[in-house]
Amino acid sequence: MEKDNKPHVLLVEDDVFLSGIYQKKFEMEGYKVTAVDNGEKVLPEAKKKLPDIILLDILLPKMDGFTVLSKLKEDEQVKNIPVILLTNLGQKDDVEKGLQMGAVDYLIKAHFKPSEVVDKIKSILHL
């Protein structure tokens, strides 16, 4: 497995436009980004790439983010990778559910600019 010193983000976002914006922002900040566009691809991709952090949308085709999060947390190989939920679901119940399931943070897309998301990731990865 090739390992460079760039922190690796697994970006799970089905909105192609938004995914592109986040990907470009992370790459400008020196991150390596792998993007997937549906929930079924996350676990195999996480196991293959072993990213430093996973940015996970909740409303996804094929498998929702909560289901993906529980599968990630059940898998020995990837359960310790920090997961940030990045979504437009802002209800208190969703936030609490995500955090109880093991997400390290819960960001509502409408409230955070991509640069602020990058800053959040830096603080979680202690960069």
Q: The pTM is what?
A: 0.92
- pLDDT: is 126 or 82 the higher one? 82
For residue 17, the model assigns a pLDDT of 94
**CA atoms of 57 and 64, how far apart (whole Å):** 8
For residue 1, the model assigns a pLDDT of 41
Which CATH code fits 8-122? 3.40.50.2300
**CA atoms of 33 and 115, how far apart (whole Å):** 15
